[in-house]
Structure 1
Amino acid sequence: MAVVKPFRGVRPNPELAHKVAALPYDVMNREEAKKMAEGNPYSYLHVSRSEIDLDDSVNPYDKIVYEKANETLKRFKAEGIMIQDDKPVYYIYRQIMDGRPQTGIVACSSIDEYVDNTIKKHEFTRPVKEEDRINHFDYCNADTEPVFFAYRSKAEIQELIYNWIENHKPVYDFKSVDGIDHILWVIDEEEVINAIEENFKTVDYLYIADGHHRTASAAKVGLKRREQNPNYKGDEEFNFLMTVIFPDEELLIMDYNRVIQDLNGLSSEEFLAKISDKFTVEEAQGTEPYKPEARHTFGMFLDGKWYKLTAKSEIIDETDMVERLDVAILQKNLLHPVLGIENPRTDKRIDFVGGIRGLKELERRTQVDMKVAFALYPPSMEELFAIADVGEVMPPKSTWFEPKLASGLFVHELE
């Protein structure tokens, strides 16, 4: 059973929504965030990346940064830049990228279901990354950014959502600077609210699609508040975390590609000979980048040429749902044994390029700071679900979701 409840969201004044909305905190560095918010005092980056309003010498994890975020969020409310709904509601959040919509419910999910694994994970988290958002949420007394959840689509929930869209006007409808349409409806009728809540109780599991660290951080802040309030009843806001929950059928996982700094001491000829043991290597036809069209095929850019790599059957274990993923096949049979990338999480010789950047970005990187690039075929939502269902995790940097959720369109206060 999935616990999904409405909440009193703090959200932008409709006239300012397009100015408040920002990219998630973790898709840019400090310098990029400062540039994005330049000349826009309403940008939510002043909350999510509050270090941009402090001297560059200030450590981004210093206490003063989190205090600044809290101060700015309070000011946004006091000045009417952001307002709070009078009663608990659900929100419908639709994004459209390149003509493809994805439409989810903005709601609160239970931290208990995160702890007991009703909310399924497919990635490991790193404590150092968790700590930053723990402090941010704790100092701000709010889930300051949502997490991206998915579920196996149910017709009854979809019908409720699309009926509401058909019969109500959105409160926000704008296009962000990156070309994504953001549309938001407020569901404020009790009958519909109750129907959504009851229908989600028939959903077996929710799945973290993107935002494992934010989810872990929000849950740990809730557990911390429980320790501070030993007589808590369970219905307090700190027992819940803010999510946007999408049906799987509307989601797109993009490729998450790799670039490597060198050939581990090999010449190009030696490298091509070595990888031919486990992959069929062919020069790609035409002048365009080679984009893999099926599982177990890879694009490789080396010395100004694109190659098609096809994994040989003897290295594919279709009985193991993790090992049969292309990211695992590439890591186990090429990146580690040939290029010496033992741990892709920590090795400084490897970098990762989200599919939204395109394959031309892989070419560019090999001309700037890298030697060889690999384009991968993305995993499916069903593969993600199947791995999470059995408590396994996917290899690092397996999934890239687009579009990213905008930050600043909704905030969930913890008390």
Structure 2
Amino acid sequence: MVTIYPFTGLHPSDAAFSFVPSVPYDVISAEDAAAEIAKNDKTLLRVIRTDAELPDIDPHDDRIYERAREMFAKMKGSGLLVSDDKPAFYIYRITLGGETFTGLISCVSVAEYKDDTIKKHELTRYDKEEDRTRHIDAVSAHTGQVFLLYKDPGSIHAYISGLADAMQPFGEYRSAGGNLHQIYRVSDPAEIAKLEMMFAEIPNLYIADGHHRAKSSANVYDRRKAEGRCTPDAERFMSVLFAHDKVRIYGYHRLVRDLAGMNADQFLGDLALRFTVTPIKKVDTTKNVVPPLADTDGSVHIIHLYLESQWYELTRPVDPKADAIARLDVSVLQESVLDDMLGIIDPRGDPRISFVGGIVPLADVVKEVDAGEYSAAFIMQPVTAQGVIDVADNAMIMPPKSTWFEPKLLSGMVIHEIH
């Protein structure tokens, strides 16, 4: 069963909520972070992307992490970040595109991460893992949340939403794109106890986004325990919990630079040996996915192709004996097309392939292909949340870039310090 913990949050002061929170460290380059810092020198990016202000230093140099610690202390010392006076849960509500998402920020257990009560579906990379391990250890804080899913028996999401509806947010941030991020404090002992009890009936949590942050938090715990300086705060890490049916998942589209020496007709001919290939007369490129012509009951793999100004739908039956990974469209695309036809064996490292989050309009993908930067684009249907859960429940690992989860969370709305 799942254990959640209230904590004494650190967060922007009332006046600082409009400029301290930032995008997470892993969705912005050092160059773009430097540009943001030039416009706003009070952004949390100065803590989570300190390499942006030290461009001549190796991003893994000790001085990067020392600077992060110094900047974090400076933000606290100047009053930009202030601490609550007692433990609480926090509700994170995001409104974007006319839709509202509501999640609960709590701490969860490193032990439950290790014993797979908190389940994973993605591998971590050592370099990224080591970077965040050193960062968390240096600042003694979790500055960003791990995005977790839970299967709601029917009452948890409604209870959390009801708590938020009955309160005023104590802080909010509106992004340049107009998305509204609001945070609420749940400090009443009775409400805290009820939330703890409700989640104690949940058998598992599932990492949607933040595998590196979770693994790095476990690494910090291991290091501090080995060094005799582990505290209860280090045995936990900060997460935001969303009901699995209250989030949005988009696919990651694949753009390939060449067709491995084939022309378009040869490529389509080879595809026709593997899929039913159906031309599509018109596609609305203001949308972010192509509406399928085929039935979407899960019995058919559906992939869309944009090649030489023409759209196609590629379909083939799902093998009823396939496991949770083989049933994914991205698995079929990787094995049958990228591997076998194009020789792109390592999608993580091959420069011939690029990935585009499925939230962007198709017009952006079309533009890249029409400009000649890429030869073709494969447009993926979204994976379902249940599909992600099935993979995690079977202790399997999803192919790279299988899911793009929404909402995207900010760093710095609330922070968990490791005292």
TM-score, normalised by the number of residues in structure 2: 0.94
Distance 1:305 1:399 in 2: 26
1:50-129 correspondence to structure 2 within 5 Å: 50-54=50-54, 56-129=55-128
Structure 2: where are the runs of 5+ without partners? Answer: none
- The alpha-carbon deviation at position 53 of structure 1 amounts to 2.0
**Residues 35-65 of structure 1, C-alpha deviation per residue, up to 9 Å, x if partnerless?**
22322112111111111222x2112221111
- The alpha-carbon deviation at position 8 of structure 1 amounts to 0.9
Correspondent of 2:377 among 370, 373, 378: 373
Correspondent of 1:265 among 236, 261, 266: 261
- The alpha-carbon deviation at position 317 of structure 1 amounts to 4.6
SS across alignment from 2:382 = coil
Match of 1:239 in 2: 235
- The alpha-carbon deviation at position 96 of structure 1 amounts to 1.5
Report if aligned partners of 1:317, 1:323 keep a CA contact under 8 Å in 2: no
Distance 1:342 1:159 in 2: 45
Report if aligned partners of 1:11, 1:84 keep a CA contact under 8 Å in 2: yes
Match of 1:201 in 2: 200
- The alpha-carbon deviation at position 213 of structure 1 amounts to 0.9
Match of 1:300 in 2: 305
- The alpha-carbon deviation at position 207 of structure 1 amounts to 0.5
- The alpha-carbon deviation at position 160 of structure 1 amounts to 3.0
Report if aligned partners of 1:180, 1:403 keep a CA contact under 8 Å in 2: no
- The alpha-carbon deviation at position 254 of structure 1 amounts to 0.7
Report if aligned partners of 1:25, 1:49 keep a CA contact under 8 Å in 2: yes
Match of 2:177 in 1: 178
Whichever residue aligns with residue 241 of structure 2, its letter is: I
Q: Say which is worse superposed, 362-371 or 142-151, in terms of deviation.
A: 362-371
Correspondent of 1:331 among 322, 329, 334: 334
**Residues 244-282 of structure 1, C-alpha deviation per residue, up to 9 Å, x if partnerless?**
111112111012110011101111111111111011222
User: What value does the CA root-mean-square deviation take over the aligned residues?
Assistant: 1.6
Report if aligned partners of 2:304, 2:311 keep a CA contact under 8 Å in 1: yes
- The alpha-carbon deviation at position 156 of structure 1 amounts to 3.5
Distance 2:145 2:173 in 1: 19
Does residue 280 (structure 1) correspond to residue 276 (structure 2)? The answer is yes
Distance 1:342 1:41 in 2: 43
Match of 1:46 in 2: 46
Match of 2:408 in 1: 404
1:138-157 correspondence to structure 2 within 5 Å: 138-157=137-156
**Residues 171-208 of structure 1, C-alpha deviation per residue, up to 9 Å, x if partnerless?**
12332113221011001111111111121111100100
Report if aligned partners of 2:142, 2:237 keep a CA contact under 8 Å in 1: yes
TM-score, normalised by the number of residues in structure 1: 0.95
Report if aligned partners of 2:21, 2:173 keep a CA contact under 8 Å in 1: no
- The alpha-carbon deviation at position 287 of structure 1 amounts to 5.3
Query: Percent identity between the aligned chains?
Result: 36
Judged with a 3 Å threshold, the aligned counterparts in structure 2 of structure 1 residues 349 and 317 are, in CA distance, closer, same or farther, namely farther
Does residue 389 (structure 1) correspond to residue 388 (structure 2)? The answer is no
Correspondent of 1:360 among 363, 372, 387: 363
Structure 1: where are the runs of 5+ without partners? Answer: none
Whichever residue aligns with residue 111 of structure 1, its letter is: V
Report if aligned partners of 2:102, 2:161 keep a CA contact under 8 Å in 1: no
- The alpha-carbon deviation at position 67 of structure 1 amounts to 1.0
- The alpha-carbon deviation at position 292 of structure 1 amounts to 4.2
**Residues 302-333 of structure 1, C-alpha deviation per residue, up to 9 Å, x if partnerless?**
122222222x23x6455321101100011111
